[in-house]
Amino acid sequence: MTTVLVTGGAGFVGAHICKALAARGDRPVVFDNLSAGHEHAVRWGPLVRGDIRSAPDLDRAFAEHRPDAVIHFAANIEVGEGQRLPLRFWDNNVAGVVSLLAAMERAGVAPLVFSSTCAVYGEPDSVPITESESLKPVSVYGRTKLAVEQLLADVASVGGVRYAALRYFNAAGASPDGEIGEEHDPETHLIPNALKAAAGIGGRMKLFGTDYDTRDGTCIRDYVHVMDLADAHLAALDLLLSGTRALTANLGTGHGASVLEVLRAVESVTGLAPPYDVHPRRDGDAPILSADLTHARAVLGFEPKRSDIETIITDAWRFHKRAWGV
């Protein structure tokens, strides 16, 4: 049995990975300050309340639970907030990882799976995006994630950490049994907001831009089911535990859905059309972001199984219907 310290394990992606770890007999220990996560999502192991920027909090967790590895989700994630409060993002997302790596070194723990993001690419020169695409993030959020990738490479180069940087595209969906799902506040992601609007509890949707050079004029994004992400995390963890020193991989599907396609899929799954208003384009929204999966397939054996848009929305709706009581 492997014990894994899961920072941010009370959040959306982290909770699903904890469930997947427990399902194969591993022991997730959640380390979370509950600034954005939910205690009710911690169900598969203990919760250590603590902050990644606090050395005493981390030392206590490592001493008490003796993890073999760390999966690191804890971060500030809302892109707009990062633009307004860059210092908060650099402190939590970057200084937080310096603090975490130092604690891992003190505890003699080397394997670390890190939640990176397609935001490290900014507006790519070509799609689907390979890992060798130039890294030109256009947001504070993306820059903090890129800085952590560079930090990990530096520390790994002297043998201090063995890491996997997983660049997720748009994480979505929910546990197929409806037990846990996406509960951000504020929620900025398209699918839960479209479901909310369809259910009549979220007001009208804002659709930003219908004049992009895409098949229907709206932006295309690559939605990947959180359970498929879980499979990739387990594969990355196993590679690190068996000695892999560093890997970086995109996690998406290789094809995307446009905003209008998502809204239509929401209507076909729920039977309810999400009301929306069209607004002008937003700065910094690339027309198409989708992942080239060649590398993830080769190193992680990654093959998305639940990431078609209908399955993602069906699973998300099952969770939200119960959570919202609709």
Ligand X SMILES: NC(=O)c1ccc[n+]([C@@H]2O[C@H](COP(=O)([O-])OP(=O)(O)OC[C@H]3O[C@@H](n4cnc5c(N)ncnc54)[C@H](O)[C@@H]3O)[C@@H](O)[C@H]2O)c1
Of residues 104 through 133, those in contact with ligand X by CB under 6 A are 115, 117
Q: Is the Cβ–Cβ distance between 300 and 249 less than 8 Å?
A: yes
**Minimum distance, C-beta of residue 271 to ligand X, in the bound complex (Å):** 26
Q: Is the peptide bond before 274 cis (omega within 30 degrees of 0)?
A: no
- Binding region for ligand X (CB under 6 A) out of 73-81, 205-213, 240-248, 317-325: 73-81
DSSP string, 146-213: HHHHHHHHHHHHTTS-EEEEEEESEEE---TTSSS----SS---HHHHHHHHHHTSS-PEEEE-S-SS
Name the token pair of 1: 């049995």
State which of positions 266-295 bind ligand X (CB under 6 A): none
Buried b (16+ CB within 10 A) or exposed e, 231-258: bbbbbbbebbeeeeeebbbbbbbbebbb
* Residue among 4, 5, 6, 10 that touches ligand X (CB under 6 A): 10
Q: How far is the CB of 115 from ligand X (least distance, A)?
A: 3
Using the minimum distance from each CB to ligand X, give the nearer residue, 81 or 210: 81
Indicate whether 52 belongs to the interface with ligand X (CB under 6 A). yes
- Residue 211 has φ and ψ, to the nearest 5°, of -120, 30
For position 312 contacting ligand X by CB under 6 A, the verdict is: no
- Using CB under 6 A as the binding rule, the residues of this chain from 22 to 51 that contact ligand X are 32-37, 51
Is 307 one of the binding residues for ligand X (CB under 6 A)? no
Answer positive or negative: Cα dihedral of 284, 80, 191, 233: positive
Which of 18, 74, 140, 146: binder of ligand X (CB under 6 A)? 74
Interacting residues toward ligand X by CB under 6 A: 7-8, 10-14, 32-37, 51-53, 73-75, 77, 92, 96, 115, 117, 168, 170-171, 184
Catalytic residue set? 141
